[in-house]
Amino acid sequence: MHGQCLLQSAISRPPSSLVEKHHSREYPGPTAGLVPHSISTGVSNLSLRRSSKSILYSKFLDNGLLLPNKICFKVTPTVGWLGPRAVLASDLAASEQLVEKFDLDGQSQLQVNVVKSTAGSPTTIHLQVTNSNPSLILHWGAVNYDKKNWILPSHRPNGTQDYKKRALRTPFTKSGESSFLTIEILDTNISAIEFILYDQSREKWFKYEGQNFHIDLPRGDSGTPQKGDSGKPQVSIPEELVQIQAYLRWERRGKQIYTPEQEKEEYEAARKELQDEVAKGLSINDIREKLQGGGSLGDGSLSMKIPDDLIQVQSYIRWETAGKPNYSQEKQLQEFEEARKDLENELSKGISLADLRKKLQSGDTQKKAPDRIGKPKNIQRIHRKKRDILQMINKFPDKKENIKVSVEPEKRSALALCSQVMEALDGGSVLQKKIFKFGDKELLVLITNPRGKVHVRLATDMEGPLTLHWGLSKHSAREWTPPPLDILPEGSNLLQLACDTPFKEGFAGDASLKAVGDGIGTAKGLLHAIAEQESEAERSLMHRFNIATGLTKRAKDEGELGLAGILVWMRFMATRQLTWNKNYNVKPREISAAQDRLTDLLQQIFTEQPHNREIVRLIMSTVGRGGQGDVGQRIRDEILVIQRNNECKGGMMEEWHQKLHNNTSPDDVVICQALIDYAKSDFNMDVYWNTLISNGVTKERLGSYDRKICSEPRFSHDQKYGLIRDLTAYLRTLKAVHSGADLESAIATCMGYSAEGRGFMGGVRIHPISGLSSELPGLLQFIMEHIEDKWVGPLLEGLLEARFELRSNLLKPHDRLKDIIFLDLALDSTVRTAIERGFEELNNAQPSEIIYFITMVLENLSLSSDNNEEIIYCLKDWHHTIDLCKSKSDQWALYAKAVLDRTRLALTEKAEHYQKVLQPSAEYLGGLLGVDQSALSIFTEEMIRAGSAASLSLLLNRLDPVLRNIAHLGSWQVISPVEVRGFVITVDELAKVQNEVYGQKTILVANRVKGEEEIPDGVVAVLTPDMPDVLSHVSVRARNSKVCFATCFDPNILDDLRAKEGKALSIRPTSSDLVYNEIKVNEVLDDSENLSQGHGVSQGIALKKKKFNGKYAISADEFSDELIGAKSRNIAYLRGKVPSWVRVPVSVALPFGVFEKVLSEDMNKGVAEKIEALDKLVAKGDFSKLHKIREIVLQMNAPSQLVGELKDKMQRANMPWPGEEGEERWLQAWMAIKRVWASKWNERAYFSTRKAKIDHSDLCMAVLVQEIISADYAFVIHTTNPSTGDSSEIYAEIVKGLGETLVGAYPGRAMSFVTKKSDLNQVKVLGYPSKPIGLFIRQSIIFRSDSNGEDLEGYAGAGLYDSVPMDEEEKRTIDYSSDPLVVDHNFRRSILSKIAQVGHAIEELYGSPQDVEGVVKDGEIYVVQTRPQM
């Protein structure tokens, strides 16, 4: 092409017979830098050494290109070339020759231009480095034709310095975002220059594949250009562009296996295509931009002139397909351009214009109607197999593996830990370290050399305030001189010959740093071993992977916490919290070999420890096959790095960060490019918006995301070059994710394309993994064909089906298991990306569509989780929800809301497990390594957000308000409807503040409420997103204390309430909602009502202390108010008085005073003394001793008389005596009795009595003994609706299994219903169950608490104390989708109606509202207790 020189490259090493003799030359540069290498003689063309492998480009979004693999093209070698070189062939019309840009470190690029010498002018070499730092230096020398050492030209650029008379060092000139340097060569004997680059500020050398950059200088004429068939001069096309075009041709043709002859033909055909493009007027730079994706983000295909008559035909077809609408003139022009794009897309697939014409004439072409709102019809989908999803359950018992205890590290002093943290912060570059002793105190002096600057740090454990009196000396210790002003620490006072500097308070002299904790909940010894080896690991990724292999061998013997330590460390590495390479030269194959050793070990652990597969997957996702980790996760990690490196954590960048964490989409590619353009234009906001709008991202679109981007970017000039560098690198990550390149690479590894390959086919050599499903290749092909589809449903189906097909291979040993794991990780990551991209698809979706997406994300999560039983049962529930929705059941939305709540609980449980396992290790190891505190505080949160759980949570949030609207649930469930006023205070957990006393009326917004808590004094309202049962302890407590208590389902309302921290509000519950308004402070302060009146607690309730009556056990006919509590008396009263179809279990009791009598026995004297001493400490406010008292109560021994009397009473009542099964069974029963007595000192009960001013010593505990019913269901009835106070309505709750999940602190909701007393057969279900766990037990005995502090006037003490079964309950995950109470309408109506009838009958019997507990067994109703409803 006129005016330009084109790059040609010989990629394959020529046969030895064609290589001229070459000589070895000693390296003339510094010891830390350049590598000796070979050169060739007699080469006339300018050349830059290149790899023997060029880049493999693969398809990308909008037909841009990525470079994930390697590929090489075979071409005819030229005599005189040695090995791989990029040779510049001269064009007659050009004197300047452009050498292609070369990546230096993934962020900066080098560009070389050479102007050939002419008569009277020197040869000129122009060098340019983009995105560079100002401190760039060229370390260089020249090469003579007949010399092998460097020579130093006499004519040198300004500023050049002689380096040891062996090399020259010339600084670049910084201009804008690039650095420039021009060298003129006057000596005609110089044949080449060689150089490396040195960045002083980063102490980093840039080399060319471990060797010097080598530029051969041109000499002689360039020759005459060749002519083509037309007689016109043929244009010389750069070889690397021919390679790319050849690859694209091969890819379009299905990646066939070619013979060497076919390869050559294809290569020349690719060259001809590009020459034709140039002949049409396209420049080489245009072609390069099109092929490499360096231009716009639009269509990446080559410019093709399509005849207008073909475009008109396609326009007509589009108009016809759209229904022949009446278009305006403007719309007709738009359609014409859309038709052009359709045809260009066809041509980009490799079809010729002639073939395209035939297709149009035959009517067989792509017929695309204009974009319409809604989903396209007839989408191609794969066939999904029907599977028993219960077969997917991974269930492992509590991990009690044979774990070697982590060797506890030697206890270190605070100064030793301080030194370790500061060394980590300074990069481990320690020059000197000493600790001086001053009695029992120490002084640490640490001298480091980070980035070439000497830091002197001092720390001490002496008590302050302290001042350091110091100075500098040049020659001797006796010489004192004052330090320069520019190095004085903050607060220093400069004296005549010295300086006084005060010590700072805080760990390591920095108040922002936290001292390293105690390491509880971690593999502490392993973490110290990691910290000790980090400085060695920083040398290179090879060192890091080798060290990680050794430490992982240790970690696998320390169980989950050991592997958690490795995961935390490797994630710190992946998120750039740790140094990757500290000036250490390592060949890529050495890094790869080290990485293989690590991943081989992880593969072994994955096989041998199935219960730790999930954490091993997470480790492998941070390592990756190329050390880069999960490319999808890098989107989330690298934006944090960009914010940290460039100090841009607020405004638009923070909004974009939140959007990226929520749902990354192809729009992010455009946003990133817009930010780069904005920075390059010196922050011209018009440029930013032009890039966005020209690619379809408008201001309205930015504001339509779930996490809106409303702000414009605002940066300073100092941030410019760092942002350009980091955003350019980030753009490659975004493109890799949204093109599926990472997945494509994983597929190629497993399905038969190795990373090496031959010819320009790059990996066509078949090396497939054996034993894979025969259906997998077709599924993977479908996935790659649809990877960029806007409508992601079919893609998700294909991804999940592929993961199912892989599952069997993951569950058994395989020699290439790690490659299968990496493929599964890539599929998993692609699911997450697709889901996030698909959120837009769901903007106007029907609930059933959102639910279908939820099922797919749950499937994906279950395939990535170890203990996934709860996830699987949630999945079953959602499938049943879809069936109900299709059947148009009037209950489907109510049922779906329960399933949604259960799914949220499953996500919460998973998040809490991650928090428990990972966060302690992150904080402890991060403290040892000096990791930024902001990264540590969100470590587990970021891990959770990286997985499918985060996407699932977003989908649930989107569906929740839709379901509540359909089911007429509103945003609130009001449990205790009380109108109140107070000041807002937000707390994390109600349990943590239940013993507080608030001095003013307080409205608590509590994130967590389990159900067993007390409500603190001074609190008038508790508002929470949690869902305690309406009949839970805290709910009953709220109603009795006249405290407003409500659950809020709308996160926006909760956020608004939290934002009103400290403000005065009025709250007014309605029948179906809760209204709150901001009021004036004095409206609360002037309210003269005593706070205690809001709690309904009579002050100073007196209990009559009960005494031992001489009997250790009594039968039911002996029950009286002097011997036992109301619970026992009521159950005895029911026998024979309720309808015959209602069953009442037989019972006996240990009456009041028995505990005190047993404790007074000589055999228990020591126990009594300990309890008395601890009780005094508790009375003084040391509530930590309550737990100790409970433990000591369990040490009591049973007098023989107690054993004999209890045995006699139980046998007379036809109850099974535990001792008949052996001494061990009696001991179980005795332990259960003691646990009931010990519950007198549980925290909840103690503080409740204390708050009510009840003397705790007057509290006495009887024990009701009943034969336990192995229940199918358990229920609680309130015969007056507690939420509305409607006495004509019965309210009840029912759970699967035992009732402890209903009255105890078990998460989730019970099934709830109401019925009118006037028609007990008409049952209205208010809510379906969401409790994930049911408790089940064999036929056994239960010992129930029955104190004299229950059911008092003005004080509800019921439920404060424990009931303990003799045998341990079995926890089972509940499958509601097969539970007849849920799915069988007739069964449900029958059981619920019977329960309502029982409640009504007992209320009639007592003549007052009742709180009734019972169970259902084989359709029969049993009542186990009743009490007055409080």
CB 581 within 8 A of CB 541: yes
> What is the DSSP secondary-structure string of 1303-1371?
HSS-SS--EEEEEETT-TT-EEEEE-----EEEE--SEEEEEEEETTSSBTTB--TTSS--EESSPPEE
Contact 662, 639 (CB under 8 A): no
How do 173-175 and 161-163 pair as beta strands?
unpaired
* CA-to-CA dists, residue 949 to 637, 871, 907, angstroms: 17, 11, 6
Q: Are 831 and 799 in contact (CB under 8 A)?
A: yes
Nearest to 1275 by CA among 1136, 1405, 1141, 1399: 1399
How would you classify the pairing of strands 493-494 and 499-502? antiparallel
1132: CB partners within 8 A, 6+ apart: 1116, 1117, 1119, 1147
Q: Who contacts 695 (Cβ-Cβ below 8 Å, separation ≥6)?
A: 296, 297, 298, 670, 673
| 680: DSSP letter | H
Helices (H) and strands (E) in the chain, counts: 41, 45
548 Cβ contact partners less than 8 Å away, ≥ 6 residues apart: 537, 566, 569, 570, 598
Residues 52/9, Cβ–Cβ less than 8 Å: no
d(Cα 52, Cα 86) in Å, to the nearest integer? 10
CA 1331 to the chain's CA centroid: 26
Contact 1295, 1325 (CB under 8 A): no
**Residue among 997, 999, 1000, 995 at smallest CA distance from 983:** 1000
Q: Which two tokens stand for residue 1284?
A: 């509305």
Q: Does residue 794 have a cis peptide bond before it, meaning omega lies within 30 degrees of 0?
A: no
- Crossing angle (nearest 10°) for helices 776-785 and 741-751: 160
Whether omega before 465 lies within 30 degrees of 0, making that bond cis, reads yes
Burial of 70 (0-12, 13-18, 19+ CB in 10 A): middle
Instruction: Report the candidate in 425, 419, 449 with the shortest Cα–Cα distance to residue 577.
Output: 425
- Nearest Cα to 802, choosing from 726, 863, 754? 863
CA–CA dist 1262, 1233 (Å, integer): 10
Q: Which residue type does 6 have?
A: L
What's 696's DSSP letter?
Answer: T
User: How is residue 999 written in tokens?
Assistant: 């001095």
Q: Say which of 786, 880, 1033, 1278 is annotated catalytic.
A: 1033
Taking residue 881's Cβ as centre, other Cβ atoms within 10 Å add up to 26
Angstrom CA distances, 1237 to 638, 1157, 1159, stand at 57, 12, 11
Terminal CA-CA length for the chain? 94
Bridge partners of residue 1044, in order along the sequence: 1021
The first and second tokens of residue 1232, run together, are: 């259960």
How wide is the angle at C-alpha 1123 spanned by C-alphas 1118 and 1124, nearest 5°?
Answer: 95
Would residue 913 show up in a list of annotated catalytic residues for this protein? Answer: no
**Nearest to 1217, CA basis, from 1209, 1225, 1207:** 1207
Q: Are 1335 and 1407 in contact (CB under 8 A)?
A: no
Residues with a catalytic annotation lie at 1033
